[in-house]
Structure 1
Amino acid sequence: MTGQADITLSGFQKGFSYDWFQGALSFTIHSLDVLEFQKFLHNIKLNWEEGNGFLKDFWEQAFSCSFQHDQKPLEPNGSCTGEEQLEDITGPFFEMHMTGHSYSIYNAVYAVAHALHAMSPVLYNHRETLSEKRIDPEDLQPWQLHPFLQDISFNNSAGETVSFKKNKEQGTGFDTEHLIIFPNKSFQRVKVGRLDPGAVEGKQFVIRENMINWRTSSKALPLSVCNDHCYPGYHKQMKEGEKFCCYACVPCPEGKFSDRKDMADCTRCPEDQYPSNNQDQCIVKSKTFLSSEEPLGITSAVSAASISLTAAVMLGIFVKQRDTPIVKAYNRNITYTLLVSLLLCFLCPFLFLGEPSKVTCLFRQTAFTILFTVAVSSVLAKTIIVVGAFMVTKPGSSMRKWLGKKLTNCILLFCSFIQVAICTVWLATSPPFPDFDRQTLTREIVAECNEGSVVMFSIALGYLGLLSIISLIVAFLARNLPDCFNEAKFITFSMLIFCSVWVCFVPTYLSTKGKYLVAMEIFSILASGAGLLGCIFLPKCFIILLKPELNKKKLLICRKN
């Protein structure tokens, strides 16, 4: 019911049935019990000599009686004595409590009285001055009260403060009243709440449900809907063109849940939880990382161990055959450096297995970038040796004094030092650290290593890629030099495989998540390293072990006519 609704009936509606008002809720104009108002109603007596015709008419209608007139016979219900009690009238015909309208009038009368009292020095100022002229009460205009009404503030007999805002309004809000109908057609208005815009945050609307007596057989909260409940896992959605109480039950969107009936909207689970299949509760996410105990981790570990063992065997073969022509021909020190760096690269995947820790995160990315930089620098140095060896054989070449261990060592140290400096700055400014990715996967929390500075990580990888491309270009240009055993051909194939693997890794890195991303990085490390190992050293090992008759100096130095 709205604030203006009123169920007070006239005498002609006494047979009217209004049981359907039972339990009605309404926003009514705010009111309080005024002191001695009940006593005033009890003491009302008729005094017809005062000529109060309204009260006489009301009395006859309310008590179904009439006063005796000389020209009018008595009503069948009898004559009015004037001693009737207002409290005997049932609620729909007369309320013993002050209504909101009357309470507002009551406050208005007192407000005007206080304003007149504040204005009295002006009204009765017998000492007229130039700045303040006396106003005759008979000539007082309503608008002249406005400045005084603005400033008044008083407590009425109900104990409530009455004052006006800057726009001359009270803004007292509304009372929430609950209507209880009794069998004798009387009723009682029960205040069950308050709507007060001026209250503190969270207290503007207060309602006490325990005071409400719902008009249902079970006395339970009635349903004001035109459809069934929306059960957990669903939320209410308004139907266009339908009444506000009609709605459709829509499943919660992905990533949200509802665990109660008739929820207006679904709620998103905390970061460490995800919705159940029915989307009616949240389940704690499990922590995931590439473990050495699962099939993918075991496969990675076995592959890394196998290729590492192969590199170690090849290193042993080259150390044992260090005095043979095929080992001596291409700078033994660079060969050993390349084999050792590849061996350590194949051991790097073990840093990627298991739950990330502070130590493993510090060395996981920096170790493999530095080791691969040393390996690629060694390949670049070997390629330059091949080119230089061909050039010094030309008559009058000035390259002979530059070619040798000093040049290769300078290339190796200089290229490797730049990468070491990049990684040192990276670790000093924003080092990698263990982290948890709660957003990427729906049902799992990914334990990962945060790179810290993405810029430094990109610079380290970019530098490694630049060295690889330079080595590929130099080896490609030297592939057709007329040696019988031209190592540049094998280096070209190895660097082509190396670059292809890491170029393919970039889109995979951006699209793969979780432990599969770590597995892809391990695969890229092993595949690119195996390409270098196989293309460069496998042919030499074949000659050393299976074709020793070809491991002779004169067969390695032949020229085309």
Structure 2
Amino acid sequence: MRILLEELSRETSPPRQWIGSEAWVSDPDMSSFTFCAGAVGFGIQKSVIPGLRNFLLDLSPSKVTASPILTEFWESAFNCRLEKSAATDKKVCDGTEDIKKLQNPYTDTSQLRITNMVYKAVYAIAHAIHNAVCQETNSTTQCDRISSIEPKQVLNHLKKVNFSQNGYPVSFDANGDPVATYELVNWQKSESGSIVFVTVGQYDASLPLGQEFHINRNITWVEGRTQVPVSVCTDSCPKGTHKVLQKGKPICCYDCVPCPEGEISNATDSTDCFPCPNEFWPNAEKDTCVPKPVEFLSFSEILGVILATFSVGGACLAIITATIFFQHRTSPIVRANNSELSFLLLFSLTLCFLCSLTFIGAPSEWSCMLRHTAFGITFVLCISCVLGKTMVVLMAFKATLPGSNIMKLFGPLQQRMTVILFTFIQVLICSVWLIFSPPFPMKNFTIYKERIILECSLGSAIGFWAVLGYIGLLAVFCFVLAVLARKLPDNFNEAKFITFSMLIFCAVWITFIPAYVSSPGKFTVAVEIFAILASSFGLILCIFVPKCFIILFKPEKNTKKHLMNKNQP
């Protein structure tokens, strides 16, 4: 260590905070390296041994010359030679040398650390020998000074010694170790600029847990600072970030990089981030995982309220229309347009409006199965009624031709059977769908990473598109028949209004398919509800509103004569 510090002292180097081991941090000889001021480290406890300084200073020339070691020390300290010495390059000591005025490690007994350990070790051996040869009685001690002592005996008694010497207790544990006691030594500069060793704390392993170590005064760090120096070239990385080492620099130099999306770090100076569980997402600080919000089209949000309002409003409109038709059921306009199918159509339209409510709210196992099957069956019932009305218009015109007997083949019973047959086919499709692969609620984690979409899985996509395809097939068939019957020469030809309603219906559901596939999350449900409401409103507005207008505001046209008049070409 001395060689290292000597090399460092040759050239000016950046200030460093030195952490010293006991071997050098408390060595007085090392205090000459003043650039290490602020060094801190643990050292063996220092002690003042009573009488030692006086003993060391009580050196007469005769005692010195009698010992080769003391002779060498004397000549080195005073740079002279004693008469009996063989040294020739030094002046002869003249007797004026005063060891009491000498300032060197020999006369400095304020930092006796290793020396005190030797001092206590000698006393420990003495106590062990004393206990081996002496027997303590009530008031006297009997010692056998003649008997020989085996080393093993000394060792056995040494393990048991327990005394206090110079204020320091001495004992050994089961492993033969003394109680660990150390001082926290700090190199501080005095007013004169020299280094002094200051004890700033203690460690005592005999104290209770958590109280073994304490600092009792301020530590002076590198360059005289009182704040603890930072040992890295980068501040600690906060939670939510992780350390990335800077290329070509020491490992204490790094960048604090925010955790990537979906990952957190909940400790400072984290070396890595870890992902949150599937149903959790990092908070804004990215230091903890919080549950992802669950999203679905609910009755409490504006979009859900608007759609629910239109749904209930449409159902009320259908009921009001049915009420008007019932009150005027004997009027020519109601009787001329197949009142039985009209009431059934209004009933099915009411169900169509109300079935859109099943799409709003948190999906459950029953609601998922109900929403698609109820929608499919009610719409087929609705289209079947429209189809029946269209076929009645065509058959009625054919019946007016000479020799035609077609209305007998398509009377009220056949009309009912047609509606039941078409609806039964849809019921059969839905039943197969529900039996083999029914819709079920699921949590969608793929559309949005930061939230969960609660939606209904179709179960079998084939079943869903089969239901839609069957509705579309009936709608196209009904549209074709309505187009064929639109120019029949009646003053009030219902086929014209059916044509417009089917045109709206087909346009809505053709645009529904790409919108349904591309809409994310809860907007998929909103698109489906919109298609249901738009097509239902198209049917009721095109087929029934003109009739209600005539019934309520144009009663003069609600006559058999007016209805039977032929349009002029």
Q: TM-score range by the shorter chain?
A: 0.5 to 0.7
Task: Give the secondary-structure state (helix, strand or coil) at the position aligned to 1:274.
Answer: strand
- Give the AA of the match of 1:252: C
- Give the AA of the match of 1:435: M
Shift of 1:263: 4.0
Match of 1:275 among 264, 278, 282: 282
- Give the AA of the match of 2:505: F
- Give the AA of the match of 1:486: N
Corresponding residue number in structure 1 for 2:556: 549
Rounded to whole Å, the distance in 1 between the matches of 2:483 and 2:20 is: 96
Question: Structure 1 residues 394, 22: CA separation in 2 closer, same or farther (over 3 Å shift)?
Answer: farther
Corresponding residue number in structure 1 for 2:209: none
In the superposition, the TM-score normalised over structure 2's length comes to 0.56
Shift of 1:340: 0.3
Question: Structure 1 residues 16, 246: CA separation in 2 closer, same or farther (over 3 Å shift)?
Answer: closer
Task: Give the secondary-structure state (helix, strand or coil) at the position aligned to 2:391.
Answer: helix
In the superposition, the TM-score normalised over structure 1's length comes to 0.57
In the alignment, structure 1 residue 296 sits paired with structure 2 residue 300: no
Shift of 1:416: 1.0
Rounded to whole Å, the distance in 1 between the matches of 2:262 and 2:383 is: 46
Corresponding residue number in structure 1 for 2:463: 456
Corresponding residue number in structure 2 for 1:311: 318
Question: Structure 1 residues 236, 481: CA separation in 2 closer, same or farther (over 3 Å shift)?
Answer: farther
Q: Check the 8 A contact 1:325/1:553 in 2, yes or no.
A: yes
Shift of 1:462: 1.7
Shift of 1:338: 0.6
Rounded to whole Å, the distance in 2 between the matches of 1:338 and 1:534 is: 13
- Give the AA of the match of 1:301: A
Question: Structure 1 residues 284, 309: CA separation in 2 closer, same or farther (over 3 Å shift)?
Answer: same
Task: Give the secondary-structure state (helix, strand or coil) at the position aligned to 2:409.
Answer: coil
In the alignment, structure 1 residue 326 sits paired with structure 2 residue 301: no
- Give the AA of the match of 2:458: E
Question: Structure 1 residues 264, 311: CA separation in 2 closer, same or farther (over 3 Å shift)?
Answer: same
In the alignment, structure 1 residue 512 sits paired with structure 2 residue 519: yes
Shift of 1:369: 1.0
Match of 2:434 among 399, 406, 427: 427
In the alignment, structure 1 residue 357 sits paired with structure 2 residue 364: yes
Q: How does 1:491-506 map to 2 (within 5 A)?
A: 491-506=498-513
Shift of 1:262: 4.3
Moved more, 476-485 or 330-339: 476-485
Rounded to whole Å, the distance in 2 between the matches of 1:531 and 1:555 is: 26
In the alignment, structure 1 residue 255 sits paired with structure 2 residue 237: no
Corresponding residue number in structure 1 for 2:344: 337
- Give the AA of the match of 1:403: F
Rounded to whole Å, the distance in 2 between the matches of 1:541 and 1:378 is: 19
Moved more, 348-357 or 256-265: 256-265
Q: Deviations over 1:239-296 (max 9, x none)?
A: 6777887654433332232333444443222122112223232221233333323333
Q: Check the 8 A contact 1:436/1:448 in 2, yes or no.
A: yes
Task: Give the secondary-structure state (helix, strand or coil) at the position aligned to 1:434.
Answer: strand
Match of 1:373 among 362, 376, 380: 380
Rounded to whole Å, the distance in 1 between the matches of 2:270 and 2:500 is: 64
Rounded to whole Å, the distance in 1 between the matches of 2:555 and 2:421 is: 36
Match of 2:393 among 386, 389, 408: 386
Question: Structure 1 residues 312, 22: CA separation in 2 closer, same or farther (over 3 Å shift)?
Answer: same
Rounded to whole Å, the distance in 2 between the matches of 1:373 and 1:241 is: 73
Question: Structure 1 residues 245, 542: CA separation in 2 closer, same or farther (over 3 Å shift)?
Answer: same
Shift of 1:238: 6.2
Match of 1:480 among 487, 491, 500: 487
- Give the AA of the match of 1:314: T
- Give the AA of the match of 2:286: Q
Corresponding residue number in structure 2 for 1:418: 425
Task: Give the secondary-structure state (helix, strand or coil) at the position aligned to 1:425.
Answer: helix
In the alignment, structure 1 residue 284 sits paired with structure 2 residue 291: yes
Q: Deviations over 1:327-352 (max 9, x none)?
A: 12122221111110001111113322
Rounded to whole Å, the distance in 1 between the matches of 2:349 and 2:430 is: 19
- Give the AA of the match of 2:495: A
Q: Check the 8 A contact 1:271/1:439 in 2, yes or no.
A: no
Rounded to whole Å, the distance in 1 between the matches of 2:334 and 2:500 is: 20
Corresponding residue number in structure 1 for 2:443: 436
- Give the AA of the match of 2:265: S
Q: Deviations over 1:482-540 (max 9, x none)?
A: 22112111111111222222233323323333433333332222221111011100000
Corresponding residue number in structure 1 for 2:183: none
Q: Check the 8 A contact 1:272/1:445 in 2, yes or no.
A: yes
Q: How does 1:526-541 map to 2 (within 5 A)?
A: 526-541=533-548
Q: How many residues align?
A: 360
Q: Please list every run of 5 or more consecutive structure 1 residues that lacks an aligned counterpart in the other structure.
A: 1-6, 24-75, 77-215
Question: Structure 1 residues 234, 400: CA separation in 2 closer, same or farther (over 3 Å shift)?
Answer: same
- Give the AA of the match of 1:280: D
- Give the AA of the match of 2:280: Q
RMSD across aligned C-alpha pairs, in angstroms?
A: 3.5
Question: Structure 1 residues 230, 471: CA separation in 2 closer, same or farther (over 3 Å shift)?
Answer: farther
- Give the AA of the match of 1:414: L
Q: How does 1:112-151 map to 2 (within 5 A)?
A: none
Shift of 1:426: 1.3
Shift of 1:439: 3.8
Rounded to whole Å, the distance in 2 between the matches of 1:557 and 1:532 is: 25
Instruction: Point out the structure with max Rg over C-alpha.
Output: 2
In the alignment, structure 1 residue 521 sits paired with structure 2 residue 538: no
Shift of 1:412: 1.4
Q: Deviations over 1:455-483 (max 9, x none)?
A: 21121112112222222232223322222
